[in-house]
């Protein structure tokens, strides 16, 4: 078997193999370990030299499914609390398959009016969902990191203008460093975006009043005042990964207005605080930002990969990422833009399809219900841990984040970090639940993010049972 034109297996037959795997895979998710380490040895079966003669479509898909359904991290199930990893709703998963079936080149209106229109509709719905003015520009990106690149590149264009330099055309040569200020809540991907944009990750200065990273507002203001009117960028953080902490965005927006700064907000998962009246106050002021980042593959529960950038003045997007200026790429006309002139990608997947589908399928109500369930599960987990004598919350649960540590009676403080690292290793080896390990406020602890639509209170209860079992084993061994 070599040339796909002469393969006797059709795409329909190959896709049917995937379809047949769906039921058994998803039905078993509740019982599956999050990750079965014994299946890792199967990974070797995928290697070997490049085949001269291919296996054919069906056999190769079968091989991938056989290994994949066993060796994958089953993070689409309800008990992957490590990092901040969302699941994929049924509608979003099916729409993602549709994106593969249709295989649209989603960058230009000429190559896919469908992808362009769905992206326009999906971005409009997201602005409604988040309470952002409809006048904001936007673009779907592969991730929050690339949304930071989008928003901060627009900030850089704006900042160049203030120095009389067209950065898109001329670059940064001869300009001073772009001042970027944030609180201690800033995520490393904001620095990564500055790093790839040539602004330098170390130029970002943080102003924190405590070891949780909460902003020292007077110090931030003093730094802005010190610039004597020179333009700066402020990065506000809506939901930090350690404790779900949020910067006071209204106060940041006031400073941005007073000192003529650009406000960029990282709302990778925290942007979903706007969905519930219980948490919307945390996001107050985000609608005054100049650029905003959010993720699709976290709390929206669309499949990897998907992020969003919103920019208050769309002209900065067009100037930063377009135009092409070549004869074979006509300018878009009519309602839908060429989205590849509004963000860093050129050719791109029709990522809007799953976003459209999940919002169409579940609406504002369904997504609010999911977010509120996660708030409840986080509170419930916090309550259970608080009631355990051997566990200590490192922060009150906020948004979807619960941070805690194991602190049994009689163990000296200097041994606790190592003990918590060992507990984390034991949890990952056990595999029934996945949680992360992080140093927060100077101590090593465990961290859970609850953002999967399948997760319920029972999963939090199982987590606590697993913790009790594994800590009993650790204590027995010590």
Ligand X SMILES: *Cc1c(COP(=O)(O)O)cnc(C)c1O
Please identify, using beta-carbon distances, which residue of 89 and 189 lies nearer to ligand X: 189
Angle formed at CA 105 by CA 99 and CA 111, multiple of 5 degrees:
125
Q: Which residues, in sequence order, are CB contacts of 461 under 8 Å at separation 6+?
A: 384
Written as six digits, the tokens of 321 are: 């990422």
Minimum CB separation from ligand X for residue 145, in Å? Answer: 3
Q: Is 144 in the site for ligand X (CB under 6 A)?
A: yes
Question: What part of residues 183-222 is at the interface with ligand X (CB under 6 A)?
Answer: 187, 189
Please identify, using beta-carbon distances, which residue of 235 and 381 lies nearer to ligand X: 235
Chosen residue from 76, 89, 112, 145 binding ligand X by CB under 6 A: 145
Choices 228-236, 263-271, 365-373, 391-399; region in contact with ligand X by CB under 6 A: 263-271
φ, ψ for residue 230 (rounded to 5)? -70, 145
Chosen residue from 307, 322, 397, 436 binding ligand X by CB under 6 A: 307
Q: Is 266 in the site for ligand X (CB under 6 A)?
A: yes
Element (H, E) at 424: helix 413-430
Residue 440 pairs in a beta bridge with 443
C-beta contacts of 172-179 below 8 A and 24+ residues apart: 172/198, 172/199, 176/230, 177/203, 178/203, 178/232, 178/233, 179/203, 179/205, 179/223, 179/227, 179/230, 179/231, 179/232, 179/233
Written as six digits, the tokens of 159 are: 């900042």
Q: Is 268 in the site for ligand X (CB under 6 A)?
A: yes
Q: Which residues, in sequence order, are CB contacts of 227 under 8 Å at separation 6+?
A: 179, 259
Please identify, using beta-carbon distances, which residue of 18 and 83 lies nearer to ligand X: 83
| CA 126 – CA 123 distance, rounded (Å) | 5
| CA 374 – CA 317 distance, rounded (Å) | 34
Asked if residues 52 and 424 have their Cβ atoms less than 8 Å apart, the reply is no
Choices 137-145, 329-337, 349-357, 417-425; region in contact with ligand X by CB under 6 A: 137-145
Minimum CB separation from ligand X for residue 437, in Å? Answer: 16
Minimum CB separation from ligand X for residue 301, in Å? Answer: 14
C-beta contacts of 364-368 below 8 A and 24+ residues apart: 364/128, 364/129, 364/275, 367/129, 367/272, 367/275, 367/300, 368/275, 368/276
Please identify, using beta-carbon distances, which residue of 137 and 239 lies nearer to ligand X: 239
Asked if residues 309 and 291 have their Cβ atoms less than 8 Å apart, the reply is yes
Choices 60-68, 262-270, 321-329, 388-396; region in contact with ligand X by CB under 6 A: 262-270
Please identify, using beta-carbon distances, which residue of 329 and 352 lies nearer to ligand X: 352
Q: Is 239 in the site for ligand X (CB under 6 A)?
A: yes
Minimum CB separation from ligand X for residue 119, in Å? Answer: 18
Asked if residues 234 and 182 have their Cβ atoms less than 8 Å apart, the reply is yes
| CA 125 – CA 132 distance, rounded (Å) | 10
Question: What part of residues 75-94 is at the interface with ligand X (CB under 6 A)?
Answer: 84
Please identify, using beta-carbon distances, which residue of 112 and 291 lies nearer to ligand X: 291
Chosen residue from 76, 89, 104, 143 binding ligand X by CB under 6 A: 143
Please identify, using beta-carbon distances, which residue of 294 and 394 lies nearer to ligand X: 294
Choices 8-16, 140-148, 170-178, 256-264; region in contact with ligand X by CB under 6 A: 140-148
Choices 93-101, 261-269, 372-380, 429-437; region in contact with ligand X by CB under 6 A: 261-269
Please identify, using beta-carbon distances, which residue of 301 and 318 lies nearer to ligand X: 301
| CA 70 – CA 40 distance, rounded (Å) | 9
Question: What part of residues 374-433 is at the interface with ligand X (CB under 6 A)?
Answer: none
Please identify, using beta-carbon distances, which residue of 32 and 374 lies nearer to ligand X: 374
Written as six digits, the tokens of 312 are: 């208050």
b/e 450-464 (16+ beta carbons within 10 angstroms → b):
bbbbbbbeebbeebb
CB atoms within 10 A of CB 289: 28
Size of the site for ligand X (CB under 6 A): 13
Minimum CB separation from ligand X for residue 299, in Å? Answer: 10
Chosen residue from 96, 295, 336, 345 binding ligand X by CB under 6 A: 295
Choices 40-48, 143-151, 163-171, 420-428; region in contact with ligand X by CB under 6 A: 143-151
| Binding site residues, ligand X, CB under 6 A | 84, 143-145, 187, 189, 239, 241, 266, 268-269, 295, 307
């Amino acid at each position: 078997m070599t040339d796909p034109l002469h393969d006797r297996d059709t795409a329909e037959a190959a896709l049917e193999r995937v379809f047949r795997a769906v039921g058994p895979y998803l039905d078993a998710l509740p019982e599956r370990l999050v990750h079965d380490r014994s299946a890792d040895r199967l990974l070797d079966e995928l290697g070997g030299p490049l085949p001269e003669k291919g296996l054919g479509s069906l056999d190769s898909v079968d091989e991938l499914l056989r290994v994949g359904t066993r060796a994958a991290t089953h993070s689409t199930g309800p008990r992957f609390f490590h990092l901040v990893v969302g699941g994929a709703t049924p509608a979003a998963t099916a729409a993602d398959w549709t994106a593969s079936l249709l295989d649209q080149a989603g960058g230009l209106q000429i190559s896919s009016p469908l992808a362009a229109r769905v992206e326009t509709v999906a971005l409009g719905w997201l602005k409604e969902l988040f309470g952002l003015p409809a006048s904001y520009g936007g673009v779907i990106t592969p991730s929050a990191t690339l949304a930071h690149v989008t928003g901060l590149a627009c900030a850089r264009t704006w900042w160049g203008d203030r120095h009389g330099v067209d950065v898109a055309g001329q670059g940064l040569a001869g300009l001073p460093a772009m001042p970027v200020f944030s609180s201690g809540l800033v995520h490393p991907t904001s620095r990564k975006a500055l790093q790839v944009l040539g602004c330098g990750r170390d130029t970002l200065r943080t102003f924190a009043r405590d070891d949780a990273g909460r902003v020292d507002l007077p110090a931030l203001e003093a730094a802005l005042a010190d610039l004597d009117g020179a333009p700066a960028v402020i990065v506000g953080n809506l939901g930090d990964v350690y404790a779900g902490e949020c910067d006071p965005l209204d106060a940041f927006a006031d400073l941005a207005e007073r000192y003529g700064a650009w406000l960029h907000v990282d709302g990778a998962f925290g942007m979903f605080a706007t969905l519930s009246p219980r948490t919307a106050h945390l996001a107050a002021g985000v609608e005054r930002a100049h650029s905003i980042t959010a993720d699709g593959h976290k709390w929206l529960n669309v499949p990897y990969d998907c992020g969003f950038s919103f920019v208050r003045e769309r002209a900065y997007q067009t100037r930063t990422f377009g135009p092409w200026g070549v004869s074979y790429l006509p300018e878009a006309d009519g309602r839908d833009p060429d989205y590849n002139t509004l963000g860093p990608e050129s050719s791109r997947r029709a990522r809007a399809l799953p976003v459209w589908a999940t919002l169409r399928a579940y609406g504002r109500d369904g997504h609010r219900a999911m977010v509120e369930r996660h708030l409840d599960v986080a509170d419930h987990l916090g309550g259970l841990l608080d009631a355990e004598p051997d566990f200590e919350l490192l922060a009150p649960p906020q948004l979807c984040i619960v941070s805690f540590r194991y602190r049994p009676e009689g163990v000296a403080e200097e041994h606790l970090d190592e003990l918590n690292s060992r507990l984390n290793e034991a949890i990952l080896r056990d595999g029934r639940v996945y949680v992360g390990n992080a140093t927060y406020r100077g101590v090593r602890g465990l961290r859970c993010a609850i953002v999967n639509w399948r997760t319920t209170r029972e999963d939090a209860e199982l987590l606590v049972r697993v913790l009790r079992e594994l800590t009993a084993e650790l204590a027995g061994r010590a």
